[in-house]
Amino acid sequence: MFSRKPRRPKSPELLKAWESLDSGDIPGALRLLRSGTDSLPLGETALVVGRAAGAAGFDDLRQAAEALAARPEQAQEQYDYGFACVERGVAYLAIPALREALRQVSGSKTVLLELVSAYEREGRHGEAVEVLSAHESELADWPDRYLLVYNALMAGDLALARRQHALLPDPDDPQWLGAQARQARMLARAAEADQAGPLDLTDLRGWQYVLGGTVLGTLSPYGFGAGMTGRYAWLQDNHDQCLRGLLRLKSVLAAAGARPTSVSLLPDRGSRVLGLAAAEVLGLPALPFAAERADTVVVAYDLNDVDPEIIGDLFERAPGQVLHEHASCWTDAPAVTADSITLLHQSATAPWAGVLRQSDGGGVERSAPDDRPEAEIAADIVGADPTPDEGDDETPADPDERLTEFVTAIRGSWLQGDRAHLSSAGPVPSSRFV
């Protein structure tokens, strides 16, 4: 009796992913599937995905992929596979299948909204707008038209967002009241940011404020026109940058008319170091964090390093409370969104975590962490040189006056509402690196 040889994909791109699975490299296979998947045969792609899902122990996705591989023309199998891909965090794989399912059953609201969900998770908000607009006559107000407004904002189409928002009545279901309030605040912030800058696809500070209510203190001086648009990719942070961020925070507070009476220290080491330095720069007493304390600046180095229980306390702000984050990850946004940040990065190393340097053997090594007392490191920050890095001479100038002019323009809508997680990087593109 002969055993049946397993099917293999025929497409060269998919064969490379298949070979990665032969060697046990599941992440490598999925990375290969990320580029060009939209145009590859659904059935063959499902073969690879099913094998990867089986190796990872994701039986729901494996079963859905095997069903699609056997019947790639069937809308139900396409939807089931797309749904499983979204649930397992590989929404990019879901999009071709859900798009084809919607073509076959164009009146299905279930398929439409699942496709929109996949587009949103991939940051492909313009395509979400297109598919929702194509079905506008079928849209209910909540959540359908709300999602059209949301994706129009995330895609940078402020005119469409305003037009569609005007058509939205109050929701009957109270579960949408929070979303309605957040969207109204986004549009209110857009009205002010639109007066403070161009609010085009290069206005990182403007859109960061519209989407999350965050004032961005500095722009990366490197690679602005080469794909980064003001964000950092990898950053070795230093004391100078920390001090510059705190001085910019001081300018932001003054321009906004905020008058905090203390600095609140979060318990993680990085936040305590920066918080002690902030207290010196702002001339305020440093106190241990307390969620109910009003009129205080809560200082975080990186909110992704803060205890989740404290993060929960920061979702709703106490009166006069300002949350400042120094190094904010834009590819893995924290669970709460700060009111002020110094910089946006994909990966950053704190100054006290050691620096990369050339070893005696000619290779690269990381120096030992700075284990000195927090107050000593904070003193080094206060005594650092805040002169901005000259960069590559291709990034637009961003003097202190430009920041304070921006804050003066938006101060009426700053520090309003909750600090909901920012699930998208928004309409200003920046290159991502694996």
Average of per-residue pLDDT across 10-20:
90
**pLDDT over 70 (residue 279):** yes
Average of per-residue pLDDT across 251-280:
98
Give the mean pLDDT of the chain.
94
CATH 3.30.1490.20, domain 200-410, yes or no: no
Instruction: Write out the chain in H/E/C secondary structure.
Output: CCCCCCCCCCCHHHHHHHHHHHCCCHHHHHHHHHCCHHHCCHHHHHHHHHHHHHHHCCHHHHHHHHHHHHCCCCHHHHHHHHHHHHHCCCHHHHHHHHHHHHHHCCCCHHHHHHHHHHHHHCCCHHHHHHHHHHCHHHCCHHHHHHHHHHHHHHHCCHHHHHHHHCCCCCCCCHHHHHHHHHHHHHHHHHHHHHHHCCCCCCCHHHHHHHHHCCEECCCCCCCHHHHHCCCCCEEECCHHHHHHHHHHHHHHHHHHCCCCCEEEECCCHHHHHHHHHHHHHHCCCEEECCCCCCCEEEEECCHHHCCHHHHHHHCCCCCCCEEEEEEEECCCCCCCCCCEEEEEECEEECHHHCCEEECCCCCEEECCCCCCCHHHHHHHHHCCCCCCCCCCCCCCCCCHHHHHHHHHHHCCCCCCCCCCCCCCCCCCCCCCCC
**pLDDT over 70 (residue 271):** yes
- Of the listed ranges 4-18, 143-157, 301-315, 325-339, the least confidently predicted one is 4-18
- The more confidently predicted of residues 300 and 390 is 300
**pLDDT over 50 (residue 110):** yes
- The more confidently predicted of residues 15 and 4 is 15
pLDDT in the model for residue 400? 96
Q: Spell out the domain ranges in the chain.
A: 12-176, 200-410
- Of the listed ranges 98-107, 146-155, 162-171, 364-373, the least confidently predicted one is 364-373
pLDDT in the model for residue 358? 65
pLDDT in the model for residue 38? 84
State pLDDT tens for residues 178-223: 999 999 999 999 999 999 999 999 999 999 999 999 999 999 999 9
Query: Residue 2's pLDDT band (boundaries 50, 70, 90)?
Result: very low
pLDDT in the model for residue 393? 83
Average of per-residue pLDDT across 22-39:
89
**pLDDT over 60 (residue 5):** no
pLDDT in the model for residue 434? 66
Query: Residue 362's pLDDT band (boundaries 50, 70, 90)?
Result: low
Per CATH, which fold does 12-176 belong to? 1.25.40
Average of per-residue pLDDT across 350-378:
86
